[in-house]
Structure 1
Amino acid sequence: MLEKVFRLKENGTNARTEIIAGITTFMTMAYILAVNPSVLADAGMDQGAVFTATALAALIGTLLMAFCANYPFALAPGMGLNAYFAYTVVLGMGYRWEVALTAVFIEGIIFIVLSLTNVREAIFNAIPQNLKAAVSVGIGLFIAFIGLQNAKIVIGGSTLLQLFSVEGYNEVNGVEASFQDAGITVLLAVIGILITGFLVIKNVKGNILWGILITWILGIICQFTGLYVPNPELGFYGLLPDFSSGLSIPSLSPIFAKLEFSGIFSLEFLVVIFAFLFVDMFDTIGTLIGVSSKANMLDENGRLTNIRGALLADAIATTAGAVLGTSTTTTFVESASGVSEGGRTGLTAVTTAILFGLALFLSPIFLAIPSFATAPALVVVGFYMLTNVVNIDFNDVSEALPCYICIGAMPFFYSISEGISMGVISYVVLNVMTGKAKEKKISLLMYVLAVLFVLKYLFL
């Protein structure tokens, strides 16, 4: 049966290899079960409910990828997209999280249509190979930057950004923190990055998840010894899991189907829809580029063979995830870890999905993990994505310069989509100005995208 469904022999693999690959993928991306609830809680959402929504969205999305595309890729609420949801749309633009979820739901529906009509596939194939690598690198820097901020290793200051100090932290935030709350957590985060780096170098399976758990355990030891003193008023909580309710699954009711359709035809809401549509489209394409590039699954022309099925799975998962109560569900770059273990078919994805389902019963553990323990995961995931910089041709400046602009714009403008905009615009303009457009065979769609991005800056 497995052979018939997943064509194992045709893809040069077997059930044992696929299952091991699926376990590896889960181990490398299970951190999202701790990180996503923490990020969306900043937008005012119930942290326990978001944990359940995250696990269910990952379960559904990954099964869809397995059966729609037969790829070993896993899906979950995406890093970068959850940051955009919480910090840009809700906290930055001032929209309620219910409105933001509705925008995610509607753009998911639109994406289903676009996936069936090959629009997203055409955009994926139109982006030049070097720019695809740059997108992956830029996302890596953006995610690492978020990790450094979450750990408070980087804080605001007179120089816009500065390295953490207790005095600087108190001055920026107007609080009276001390080494025993804010200071020790920053030190633990730095130690966590070094520990995770050591595990990566030693090629330990599930190195990112182990890095999170070891950093968290060190924090618990510090709490027991009095080096860390919880200060809930400043957001520094106790580090022990709360098993008072047993291993029950947190209720989805605070966020399930909380879509707010009133006023969806207003200009303001349309702007939010466009923002999500824009960011999600190019974040999804960017992540698929990063995953498939890292896993060496693109053909000689830089195309993903069954991309329509992958995009459709992504679009349906986004829509379902919005109903469940989480930000955009997308393909995870950590899926490349399972591929490196030999995973080649949807059986790898099915294995990962089952493990996400089982993780639902471990919510007290994942919800107790603090941000200083998850921050190292973001920094290391950023490193994994940064390695694609070697795939950029720096000998051709007309290729390398737009890539540089794309990469720099993502962390500096705090936006993945802005990086892609700047990359596409600069690629087209510089190659046209230098007379290399015909030589590069820039597609018509790239010209259209460049014009649309320029119009976006002029009118939105």
Structure 2
Amino acid sequence: METSFLEKKFKMKKYNSDPRTEFLAGLTTFMTMSYILIVNPDILSQTGMDKGAVFTATIISSIIAMLVMGLYANLPFGLAPGMGLNAFFAFTVVIAMGHDWEYALTAVFLEGIIFVFLSIFNVREAIFASIPIGLKKAVSVGIGLFITIIGLTNAGIIQQGEGVILEKGNLLTPESLIFFFSLFLMAFLTAKYVKGALLFGIVGGSILSVILGVSHFPGITSIFSLPPSLAPIAFKLEFKNLFTFEMFSVMFTFLFVDMFDTIGTLTGVATKADMLDEKGNLPNVGRALLADSVGTIVGALLGTSTVTTFVESASGVADGGRTGLTSLSTAFFFFISLFFFPLFSVVPAAATSAALVMVGLFMIEPITEIDFKDFTEAVPAFLTITMMPFAYSIAEGISFGIMSYVLLKLITGRKNQITPMIAALAIIFFLRVISPILATLF
């Protein structure tokens, strides 16, 4: 029997997948990522950028990054301008530091250029490979908890209390009803081994949202719209402050957070999908890392903040996505949203939040494979797991995990388990932690 073009390109049989599964997984990933199409323009528009133009830039940069991820890396990950990085762009660089948004875009562009060189010379791939298998499993668990908190807070099930304390939200709201309906529909369908369970849960929650009046289905004549123009923000880089310490500092912050958020996301999602090889490495990880580098450069040129691999990719992986066809399917739905965004806006946050909580459950499974009897493995893993949700940062979880791993291996006489790369990472993380003290001394 002749092998189809899709099978030759994506090798789905190797991963026990098929085109329908990959397509549905891509749609699920899109549905759980789609909030970025609303949130990113909202955040960046507070810097004075045109909201409609940012919407278009968000979609086009995401599509290009996912084309690289799907066709070049053959991996099932979705990419888009990252949360946290867009907040740093708007609220720190522009609003707090007083720079204009063109300056921030230039810093993002420079970061993307550096990322390309780090990818070409396999520096980021070496970093990925240097992370011990126990920490890789811990990253998956930590991301699971991190996703769960995002889902619960987005749905209003938990909320900000006194200071930084989280507390129970109001459970007697239409949004809460939609969340729990979606969650238990997903759980029921998952228990029945229904493919696309998360997607069907999101659709069910969206229908209930319309019934309850939380979302409003647009009229037939209103669901189509042409994409807003990029003209107000595209190709607006500003190079007059290029060789300054402040530009370097801003660029390095983008670089640091993006690098370790991406590595953490790839590690966690790939671990859950059982895509790591016998050495604990992800095949084609260098190509995957190049995808977000390209997306970041294109995004900066078009007018949006750093493009990165989305942790919500775990939802598509949980629905069976294993190849680049999932990424291409997600890109397809991003393209559709350029013209039918009023229709996609019907999906309530409560329904996609339920999907994130289910994914959180799926991703904590590798915790059973961590060696908790060896405390030089257990403590770093535990810090990795807990710092991600509590510090609200994947990068911070990796940072504390690696520093504690190297320290414990060193003081217990197991220097042979410390590779040069992970030792270098630990030193960099430590210097970053004490940098505020060093700044006051010099």
Q: Is the 8 A contact 2:108 2:251 kept in 1?
A: yes
Could you say what the CA RMSD is over the residues aligned between the two structures, in angstroms? 3.4
Match 2:76 to one of 73, 77, 80: 73
Q: Is the 8 A contact 1:73 1:332 kept in 2?
A: no
Aligned to 2:37: 37
Q: How does 1:25-174 map to 2 (within 5 A)?
A: 25-32=25-32, 34-45=34-45, 49-69=53-73, 71-77=74-80, 81-82=82-83, 84-91=84-91, 94=96, 99-158=103-162, 160-165=165-170
Q: Is the 8 A contact 1:102 1:259 kept in 2?
A: yes
Task: After superposition, give the CA deviation of every residue in 1:357-397 in whole Å (9 maximum; x if it has no partner).
Answer: 34433211123433233322332233333223233222322
Shift of 1:262: 5.3
Q: How does 1:204-215 map to 2 (within 5 A)?
A: 204-215=194-205
Tell me, yes or no, if structure 1 residue 251 matches structure 2 residue 241: no
Match 1:445 to one of 414, 421, 428: 421
Query: Secondary structure of 2:275's partner?
Result: coil
Equivalent residue pairs, number: 425
Aligned to 1:429: 407
Structure 2: which 5+ runs fail to align?
437-442
Shift of 1:8: 2.5
Shift of 1:449: 0.8
Among all aligned residue pairs of Structure 1 and Structure 2, give the percentage whose two residues are the same amino acid.
44
Distance 1:259 1:407, change over 3 A: farther
Q: Is the 8 A contact 1:188 1:215 kept in 2?
A: yes
Distance 1:121 1:279, change over 3 A: same
Q: Is the 8 A contact 1:17 1:342 kept in 2?
A: yes
Q: How does 1:44-443 map to 2 (within 5 A)?
A: 44-45=44-45, 49-69=53-73, 71-77=74-80, 81-82=82-83, 84-91=84-91, 94=96, 99-158=103-162, 160-165=165-170, 183-223=173-213, 239-241=216-218, 245-253=222-230, 255-261=233-239, 263-332=241-310, 346-347=324-325, 349-438=327-416, 441-443=417-419
For 2:125, give the aligned amino acid: E
- Further displaced range: 125-134 or 204-213: 204-213
Distance 1:90 1:259, change over 3 A: same
Q: Is the 8 A contact 1:6 1:345 kept in 2?
A: no
Q: Is the 8 A contact 1:407 1:419 kept in 2?
A: yes
Aligned to 1:455: 431
Q: Is the 8 A contact 2:312 2:356 kept in 1?
A: no
Structure-1 separation of matches of 2:92 and 2:362: 29
Query: Secondary structure of 2:35's partner?
Result: helix
Structure-2 separation of matches of 1:154 and 1:240: 28
Distance 1:240 1:44, change over 3 A: farther
Distance 1:141 1:119, change over 3 A: same
- Further displaced range: 128-137 or 138-147: 138-147
Tell me, yes or no, if structure 1 residue 24 matches structure 2 residue 1: no
Q: Is the 8 A contact 1:239 1:369 kept in 2?
A: no
For 1:202, give the aligned amino acid: K
Distance 1:345 1:388, change over 3 A: same
Structure-1 separation of matches of 2:420 and 2:8: 38
For 2:378, give the aligned amino acid: A
Structure-1 separation of matches of 2:316 and 2:159: 35
Query: Secondary structure of 1:43's partner?
Result: helix
Task: After superposition, give the CA deviation of every residue in 1:174-212 in whole Å (9 maximum; x if it has no partner).
Answer: xxxxx7xxx332343333333333333333333333322
Structure 1: which 5+ runs fail to align?
167-178, 229-237
Distance 1:333 1:388, change over 3 A: farther
Shift of 1:313: 2.4
Q: TM-score, normalised by structure 1?
A: 0.80
For 1:298, give the aligned amino acid: L
Query: Secondary structure of 2:276's partner?
Result: coil
Q: TM-score, normalised by structure 2?
A: 0.83
Shift of 1:410: 1.2
Distance 1:291 1:143, change over 3 A: closer
